[in-house]
Amino acid sequence: MDIPPANNILWSRIVAGTSNPDISTLATRLLITRLRISVSNQETNLLNAALELHRFFVKNKFAHRDLSAIMGA
Amino acid sequence: MKNAFLTVEAVGAMITSGATLFISGPEALLRQLPRGKWIGGTTAYFILEDGGVSREDRLFCTCFDEAMDVRTAILSSDQLSGLVERRYDHGFTCVMAPAFSGALQRYAVEGPGLPGLYDQPVFGCVAGVRLDRVDTEMPKVFDGAAGTFSHDGLAALWVELPETIEVDLDIVNLFTVGVGSEFSFAEGGFEVAECLVDGRPTNLARHIEEQGLDTRLPLVADYAGAMINVSFQAVDADNGRVRFYAPVVPGVIYRLARPVADYALAYVDAAKGRSAAGMLSCNCILNYLYAELEGCSTGGFVGPVTFGEFAYILLNQTLSCLSLRDVPAEHK
């Protein structure tokens, strides 16, 4: 399954908390929450948080088991 | 990867043979071990296959036969980024931090934001002491390669694995978000005074006293499907202060946990579908105490009982579990 590109709005929706896919991987759950907290506390902006989540999926094969949930959310 | 509950002589022999080990037990035994590829941390409590036990004549050790190479260090509070920077391209990291230490407090607050932290498993526990010696003994961690120990640093064991082995790091949290009030905090940390209770500014300690809340239950937050606890250490209603075993985080909504009816049964349920005996798990001393796990088995999960656990971040009242397995053929 191909990873959606970094500019796909689904990454922003997840870190904004407007999309809540059913994630199974602990690392992915913790990262998403960390990014949401950072956005909420204005430690980072939505674009950078979305880029970080995309980078995580590109780098880590183990996270790909959640790709279908991410893309279906 | 294999677990064993051994005498100091037997563990010493394993170290001398070149084994890579993650060791928990009494300080007096850890001090006797020879140099080698291991890190250790103090505790006197363990969960074995037939139940929880407090022993001072044995060490719980996990041998990582799969390791291709290892590094060890004790990192000071100012060196915690090294946890990520010094890891191998493929592997995992085991950590031990002494309870109440500066390194633990700093990692708990800053660790979750370390760049790349979630790219590779970080598993571990918080070293403790016998509960009747909390005021007289200090928890310690050991770097077996350097032959050093610390009461204030974080011991790390970086393990390199072959590409054919993958790591599974997960948690078993018996607590779920309850149905009571929402708690949120403008400022994070291990100690708080004020918070918002259902959006209203409130002194947390006095609220707990007035409402008669059971602080054996942790605060729980939903981290995108993972239930993450923050446990109460002390409530001082006179001075209006509450101290926790992990920091509360601004921007997170917490609720007091729903009570667990039968801990032992819940662990058996949680173990279903897993080969719990083949895992290394760390369980929390608060679960050991409140759930009366001494002599009581926990679904096959075995390992040290400690003053906190790590699965990437610091956890409370949670079982963290690590296992290694062959990469499935379709992923090779």
Domain ranges of chain A: 9-72
B60 shares its domain with B36 = yes
Check whether B104 has a pLDDT greater than 80: yes
* C-beta of residue B230 within 8 angstroms of C-beta of residue B219: yes
B282: β partners: B320
Tell me whether A27 touches chain B (CB under 8 Å): yes
Same domain, B158 and B306: yes
- Chain B residues with CB inside 8 Å of A54's CB? none
pLDDT score at B272: 73
Kindly report the number of other CB atoms within 10 A of residue A62's CB atom: 17
- Asked if B67 and B100 sit in the same domain, the reply is yes
Number of domains chain B contains: 2
Residue range B206-236, pLDDT digits in tens? 999 999 999 999 999 999 999 999 999 999 9
Q: Are residues B165 and B200 in the same domain?
A: no
Which of these three, B202, B233, B256, is where a domain ends? B256
DSSP at B131: G
pLDDT value of position B50: 87
Stretch B187-200: mean pLDDT: 96
CA distance B89 to B120: 9
**Is B117 among the domain residues?**
yes
* B11: in domain: yes
* CA of B225 vs chain A CAs: smallest distance (Å): 7
Q: Are residues B307 and B196 in the same domain?
A: no
- d(CA B267, CA B288) in angstroms, rounded, equals 12
Which domain, by its residues, includes B288? 2-172+264-331
Q: Do B32 and B140 fall into the same domain?
A: yes
User: Which chain A residue's Cα is nearest to B320?
Assistant: A26
Domain end, chosen from B256, B273, B297, is at B256
What confidence score (pLDDT) does residue B277 get? 65
Q: Is residue B181 part of a domain?
A: no
**Domain end position, chosen among B256, B290, B315:** B256
From the list A23, A31, A41, the residue facing B250 with the nearest CB is A41
Coil, strand or helix at B189 = strand
What is the spatial distance between Cα A30 and Cα A21, in angstroms, rounded to a whole number? 13
Decide if B224 and A33 are in contact by the 8 Å CB cutoff: yes
- Cα separation, B288 vs B275, in Å, equals 22
Dump pLDDT digits (tens) for B23-48. 999 999 999 999 999 999 999 999 99
Q: Which B-chain residues 165-224 have CB contacts (< 8 A) with chain A?
A: 166, 169-171, 223-224
Kindly state whether residue B277 falls inside one of the protein's structural domains: yes
Residue B123 lies in a domain: yes
